[in-house]
Amino acid sequence: MERYRVKVYKKGIIVIPKEIRETIGIKEGDIVELIVNEGKVSIEKPETLLDLFGVDGNRAVEVAKAIVEERRKEVEREVRH
Segment 4-51, tens digit of pLDDT: 999 999 999 999 999 999 998 899 988 899 999 999 999 998 877 666
Q: Which residue has the higher pLDDT, 79 or 16?
A: 16
Beta strands in the chain (DSSP E): 33-37, 40-44
Residues 7, 37 within the same domain:
yes
Contact assessment for residue 24 and residue 45, using Cβ atoms and an 8 Å cutoff: yes
Residues 40, 54 within the same domain:
no
Q: For the domain that residue 26 is a member of, what is the CATH number?
A: 2.10.260.10
pLDDT at 77: 86
pTM of the full predicted structure? Answer: 0.55
Instruction: Evaluate the CA torsion angle 52, 56, 60, 62 in order and state its sign.
Output: positive
Domain that holds residue 41: 1-46
Residues 28, 56 within the same domain:
no
d(CA 12, CA 54): 34
